[in-house]
Chains A and B, each alone.
Chain A
């Protein structure tokens, strides 16, 4: 086939060394998509014979696995660290377009500092000038005007080189802002800062004063001192086109994406549909042609993304504007890749090496090439996931700035099916009792105001008899979509009346239909069309596909009852005769459940395949490696519910399901899945530690009893089902006490309360305690050292992956605490006790697979806080620090191997690795930036060095929190800052921060910290972190100790045995 047209020239990567820069920690606006793209690019480059050097600061990623590249560095993504890597590895080229904005920015800085030139490193793929041309709005406008492409009216407010915003007079600023507003045709306008992630600091502004404030801040924060003022095209439909271009100028569109929410909402915040539904061919082709013209004009090579605004102006094709170009692989590229099957990162990497599109195979069909435009024969819907449950103080109105942490994608044969699957996949449940919402509130707060609750509010509106016309008027959502929301609402109404078919076809599960109508699953199931599996094949069925990538779809009304055998399997090409296991993934990225669970899922899949077992994945997060088409033997893009996972198990004839690896999402389906498998009589096991033992570990009272039995200390505490019980418990224990609802993820709504008044307020405001919603009241171990232990057990022995010591003291959620491996403040005796406790619990819970134990050490006593027989968020960190792949070991043990037969030893690293977290407060105005018992971090970085100080400092650098001189405000009684900073006091600290007089804040004062967040200056909110920071500062000028993770020294020894 395509090999006939291979070019003569050498376009392989043979003998070339290529530096790939990752995107760092997961944050709002930059999630797991760059792990997926980086991992795919690594494979693609190695296929071409290149030697790949990879750097990323995020240990929770697959791309930083030692086997992913020839050389893997987990180091800060700073010019300092990367310069050292370049000096060491001497790369021929660097690919900048695969590490998100972070990778792009650092590459630009490396070029500006002359590092790339000094070491003769070529920027591969898209040239830097192009990147500048897309990021500098004026330059971009000029280029667009040159080729006759319409852009929204726009102007830039910028500072001259010798100007500073703090020195400008108010009147001067006002004049400039007014002139800008006039130039784009008046308010409202969109104000945007260039060079920021996910549109931070941008939004539609209606008021002049608000605009002034934003401009002032924007000018200070922007890397190039610019703020862009644009004509607001609010209400137009927003489109994105994913484009791919090679060096020979072949240029294709991978797909287009239609935002359901009208222009004015960041595409990362919008519900997005692929392909477009409502734009006619002529309009689509005009934008397609424009996309190609723009990409050619800019000289982009590889994948990129272009945004349009479009509206129906009465002409056959409508009218459009070019909004912006992302000259790199992005979150949308990940979505486009998963939506179409076209591997954008892989092709981008190969194009960067000089390959032409028609010389790159399409691995999905195996018979076509990368030089084609995917044809889609299904509807894809993406719904974001917001951390609304974690931030009571934050207004989650959707704007041009991102607040979501992740997203779920679903595929269906109709929009309704795709939408409902996607909504279900986000696992979001609006915290609204619609019965309490008046029509007026429904309209103003839920329909007109875009929020995470809007889709549900639309269903509610239809339920109340609103017409599509009214819903369109209120939401600005296109009629075609609104009508389909109406159909969903009607289908549920019909189900209430006993006709389940429409609801099932619309995408509801049998379980949810049974639950809402008071029927049983057995009844519903026999009455509605069953699900069958379809392939995602890039070509709408035109060619036979080789890669097993599937989605489920209901048959139509002419097929009733559950499908069995071949009918259920549909187009599945999985081998039903061999041993196969399903690994259930983690769904969308959210706080408390990040990319680390995708890491665990992927490792489980790889471990099973190493054992010769077919491994299937059920997941719905388009950003991840686990949902890549070549990760598993069968990829099922599905919501994670017991019913849908059981469907996969039945259709694929799987022997087992692993639910330990996908975080709370997968663990939560354990029990219902077990029941569902039994109901259907499937020969399939929920593998590893029993569902019963997992439940025991989460049931406070039973777990307490077990600990007593094992003679393991626990903080005093108990479960309360009423306010009176809670107060009584608190009095018995003595304040302060730690309170939280039971069964929650990431310490949601956890608080330390110090007296009756605080406890009562907590119960009344934060949680509604009830017999079915108990709260836990525990002794608060002040000043204890907290530990995390990750271990693998096989029923006979226990392998400890690592013991981690938290930097923060008790009272800060373990997920938000920096932590170190190995620990440094425990004596041998304590470590021995830690081991003993871990082994005892593992054995008592009959653990098969992973287990995480959280412990506290106070006055030599080891207390157990929590034990969870499943994967934890520290698993990848432990594996990267020690080199022991515990998630893989766990999967193998669950599949029947023993630790002995696997022949692995525990490893204790000689260096100290610090895990530091990244917090989202800058994206969530109004949130409380103080660390506390509720987890708020979105991601993590790792810093490693021979000494604690250097390692901690590297972690601060990697999390963009390192500053070592200037003026500091220090509210804690801690020595050492004065050696590095001018430590100053101000009457009004927030005001001083706003005026740019402060470079560093160490405080517990919420106002000061909120201002520090707003002004983006480094800060610390706890004494423990401040003490560690001082140690870091001492090491700040020392050697960075840049080294690959494999080269760092470790010794083979068992933790806590003195060996």
Chain B
């Protein structure tokens, strides 16, 4: 059997069963979703992280490309109580180390109590606990990955739904999930997926009906160019954002963001719409959150568990953002109408909206 070691911040080393070889390091986070492992593993927001599944059995219904959210596995390594052959072979092919037969419930409660932590992993025939500790030693914090946008964004603009005759969306790719693009394209939009550091000119040339900031990994402070784009266009162009996109928009409009203890990752996060009083279930994957929305934005939706902002509306500009993932995949489909609302913003020319709308 292949040996496997997981070194946790503080130096504690766990022994497990190696399922895919290699060494890796990253911030250790957990998701509580029990389905959707293919979608999660291909979600670019997990870049530079080690993903632990709190659900013990992962890989039960195989691996199919149709269910991928991007073209590769993003977590640096994967931890579960039990991985099936299908999923471990896939991870091995992708050179992503994987470990199982660990007490993942203990790992999860450690993260809950101690916050998202650095970890190092070593899997292979001859690896030792020291190998894992060495990885841990070299592990950086999430906010220190200043160039993370480069790793997950497209290099060149890519257009989807070219033949559609609906709105034109400029999607700033900070690590966008495929389902965001397809949700827009399905609604007849033409989506220009742009590198995260695109210039104002690039966007201006597209002259989009909506400027859309995607989800992505890490600290929104590391996406200065995207922040700049929002600042530049918000007065004339409706702006939307998902997840990191919401944080980028908030930073652009005078708000602030902060790191959470261990974030929200799962498919059961309850969100209350403050206007309707309705609660919906959402998919989330974020370790940072909007602390203060700033004077140009108001909080329209909050997390029922911890009151963190889940939706922001512009008070004077056309802005609509979500901290959660309305595109689902994985997770509940309760909030697909967000995309309708976003595109509706783009239909009309900029409104002169009263602040209390």
Q: Mark B108-124, 1 if CB is under 8 A from A, else 0.
A: 11001100000000000
Q: Are B34 and A375 in contact (CB under 8 A)?
A: yes
Of A364-372, A420-428, A623-631, the stretch lying at the interface with chain B is A364-372
Which of these, B64, B108, B272, B333, contacts A377 with CB under 8 Å? Answer: B108
Which of B167-175, B211-219, B246-254, B275-283 lies on the face that meets chain A?
B275-283
Contact A556 B102 (CB under 8 A): yes
Known: A316-B67, A358-B304. A250 touches B279 (CB 8 A): yes
Known contacts being A281-B36, A372-B304, is A5 close to B272, with CB within 8 Å? yes
> B112–A281 contact, CB under 8 A?
no
Candidates A252, A413, A415; contact of B281 at CB < 8 Å: A252
Contact A542 B32 (CB under 8 A): yes
User: Whole-angstrom distance between the alpha carbons of A540 and B52 in the complex?
Assistant: 12
Instruction: Tell me the count of chain A residues lying within 8 A, CB to CB, of chain B.
Output: 56
Which of chain A's residues have a CB closer than 8 A to the CB of B309?
none
Check if A288 sits within 8 Å of B60, measured CB to CB.
no
Q: Which residues of B contact A376 (CB under 8 A)?
A: 34, 55
B332 on interface, CB distance cutoff 8 Å: yes
Beyond A357-B279, A414-B57, A558-B16, whether A371 also contacts B34 by CB under 8 A is no
Stretch of A270-278, A846-854, A1037-1045 at the chain-chain interface: A270-278
Q: A252-B281, A281-B67, A288-B332 are in contact. Are A542 and B266 (CB under 8 A)?
A: yes
A314 to chain B, nearest CB (A): 10
A557 an interface residue at 8 Å Cβ cutoff?
Answer: yes
CB distance from B99 to the nearest CB of A (A): 11
A181: min CB distance to chain B, Å? 35
Per-residue 0/1 for B100-138: is the Cβ within 8 Å of any A Cβ (1 yes, 0 no)? 011111001100110000000000000000000000000
Q: Chain B residues with Cβ under 8 A from A373's Cβ?
A: 267-268, 270, 281, 332
**CB neighbours of B71 from chain A (8 A):** none
Interface check B61, CB cutoff 8 A: yes
A282 lies within 8 A of chain B by Cβ? yes
A281 engages B35 (CB within 8 Å): yes
Residue of A nearest to B66 (CB): A316
Residue contact B101 to A372, C-beta cutoff 8 Å: no
Q: Is B307 an interface residue (CB 8 A)?
A: yes
CA distance A558 to B102 in the complex (A): 9
Quick one: which of A248, A252, A276, A285 has the most chain B CB within 10 A? A285
Q: A292's closest neighbor in chain B, by CB?
A: B334
* CB-CB contacts below 8 Å: A249-265 with B: 249-250, 252-253
- Pairwise interchain contact B304-A280, C-beta atoms closer than 8 A: no
Q: Is there a chain B Cβ closer than 8 Å to A459's Cβ?
A: no
Contact, CB under 8 Å: A541 / B64 = no
Q: Is the CB of A480 closer than 8 A to any CB of chain B? A: yes
A277 pairs with B60, CB closer than 8 A? yes
1/0 per residue, CB under 8 A from A, across B279-313: the answer is 11100000000000000000000001111000000
A369 B35 Cβ-Cβ under 8 A: no
Q: Are A248 and B278 in contact (CB under 8 A)?
A: yes
Query: With A379-B57, A414-B81, A539-B32 as given contacts, are A371 and B334 in contact (CB-CB < 8 Å)?
Result: no
Given A282-B329, A289-B333, A414-B81, check contact A371 B57 (CB 8 Å).
no
Task: Tell me the complex Cα distance, A438–B303, Å.
Answer: 60
Inter-subunit contact B108/A414 (CB<8 Å): no
Say whether, besides A275-B34, A372-B304, A379 and B56 are in contact (CB < 8 Å): yes
A289 to B336, CA, bound (A): 11
Identity of the chain A residue whose Cβ is nearest the Cβ of B273 in the assembled complex: A250
Which of chain A's residues have a CB closer than 8 A to the CB of B329? 281-282
Give CA–CA (A415, B81) in the complex, Å.
Answer: 12
Q: Which residues of A contact B32 (CB under 8 A)?
A: 375, 377, 539-542
Complex Cα spacing A275 to B55, Å: 10
Instruction: Name the A residues within 8 Å of B67 (CB-CB).
Output: 280-282, 316
Question: Is A467 among interface residues, defined by CB-CB distance under 8 A?
Answer: no
Q: Is B231 an interface position by the 8 A CB rule?
A: no
Q: Which residue from chain B places its CB closest to the CB of A7 in the assembled complex?
A: B277
Rounded to whole angstroms, the CA-CA distance of A357 and B305 in the bound complex is 12
B270 and A372 contact, CB distance less than 8 A:
yes
Whether B55 lies near A279 (C-beta < 8 A) is: no
Please, which residues of chain B bring their CB within 8 A of the CB of A276? 35
Q: A176 within 8 Å of B by Cβ?
A: no
CA distance A5 to B329 in the complex (A): 29
Nearest to A369 among chain B residues (CB) is: B304
Q: Min CB distance, B9 to chain A, in Å?
A: 18
Task: Indicate the member of B38, B57, B101 with the most A CB atoms within 10 Å.
Answer: B57
B197 at the interface (CB under 8 A from A): no
Which residues of A in the span 486-542 have a Cβ within 8 Å of any Cβ on B? 534, 539-542
> Which B residues are in CB contact (< 8 Å) with A371?
270, 272, 279, 304
> Which of A289, A368, A415 contacts B304 (CB under 8 A)?
A368
Q: Is A606 an interface residue (CB 8 A)?
A: no
Chain B hits for A368, CB < 8 A: 270, 304-305
Q: Is A544 an interface residue (CB 8 A)?
A: yes
Given A541-B30, A571-B109, are A285 and B278 also a contact pair (CB < 8 Å)? no
- Residue of A278, A286, A367, A413 near B56 (CB, 8 A) is A413
In whole angstroms, how far apart are the Cα atoms of A277 and B84 in the complex?
A: 12
Across the two chains, which residue of chain A brings its CB closest to B281?
Answer: A373
Question: Which residues on the A side are within 8 Å of B112 (C-beta)?
Answer: 541-544
Q: Which of A7, A357, A375, A379 contacts B54 (CB 8 A)?
A: A375
B1-20 vs A, Cβ < 8 Å mask (1 yes, 0 no) = 00000000000000111000
Interchain CA distance A289-B102 in the complex, whole Å: 34
Is residue B330 contacting chain A, with contact meaning CB distance below 8 A? yes
Task: Flag whether B331 is at the interface (Cβ < 8 A).
Answer: yes
Determine the chain A residues whose CB is within 8 A of the CB of B82 once the complex forms.
Answer: 414
Chain B CB within 8 A of A555 CB: yes
Select one of A7, A275, A556 contacting B101, CB under 8 A.
Answer: A556
Alpha-carbon separation in the docked complex, A280 to B278 (Å): 27
B39 contacts partner chain A, Cβ-Cβ < 8 Å: yes
Chain B positions 304 through 346: 1 when the CB is less than 8 Å from some CB of chain A, otherwise 0? 1111000000000000000000001111111000000000000
A280 to B267, CA, bound (A): 14
Q: How far is the CB of A276 from chain B (nearest CB, A)?
A: 7
Q: Is the CB of B270 within 8 A of A534?
A: no
A385 at interface (Cβ–Cβ under 8 A)? no
State in angstroms the CA–CA spacing of A286 and B55 once bound together.
21
Task: Please report the C-alpha to C-alpha distance between residue A357 and residue B280 in the assembled complex, in whole angstroms.
Answer: 11
Q: How far is the CB of A109 from chain B (nearest CB, A)?
A: 35
Which residues, 83 to 108 on B, are CB-close (under 8 Å) to A? Answer: 101-105, 108
Q: Please pick, from A292, A367, A377, the residue contacting B55 in the complex, using a CB distance under 8 A.
A: A377
Chain B residues with CB under 8 A of A278: 60-61
* Assembly CA distance A374 to B281 (angstroms): 11
The distance in angstroms between the C-alpha atoms of A5 and B273, with both chains bound, is 11
Q: Measured between C-beta atoms, what is the minimum distance from B265 to chain A in Å?
A: 9
A480 to B103: give the CA distance in the assembly, Å: 22
Q: Measured between alpha carbons, how far is A152 from B353 in the docked complex, in Å?
A: 50
A4 CB-CB contact with B under 8 Å: yes
Given the interface contacts A281-B329, A558-B101, does A541 sit within 8 Å of B304 by beta carbon?
Answer: no
A2 within 8 A of B: yes
Does residue A73 face the partner (Cβ distance < 8 Å to B)? no
A1 at the interface (CB under 8 A from B): yes
Partner of A534, one of B64, B101, B105, B328: B105
> Do A285 and B270 contact each other (CB < 8 Å), given the known contacts A2-B304, A277-B60?
no
**Interface check A446, CB cutoff 8 A:** no
9 A-B pairs whose Cβ atoms sit less than 8 Å apart in the complex: A1-B306, A250-B277, A275-B35, A280-B64, A281-B67, A358-B272, A358-B304, A369-B270, A541-B32
What are the 6 tightest A-B residue pairs by CB atom distance, in nearest-first order?
A281-B36, A375-B32, A540-B32, A373-B268, A541-B108, A281-B35
User: 18 more A-B contacts (CB under 8 A) besides A414-B81, A571-B109?
Assistant: A1-B307, A248-B277, A248-B278, A280-B38, A285-B332, A292-B334, A316-B66, A358-B272, A368-B305, A374-B268, A375-B266, A413-B56, A540-B54, A540-B108, A540-B266, A542-B266, A544-B112, A558-B15
Residues of A within 8 A of B (CB): 1-2, 4-5, 7, 248-250, 252-253, 275-282, 284-286, 288-289, 292, 316, 356-358, 367-369, 371-379, 413-415, 480, 534, 539-544, 555-558, 571
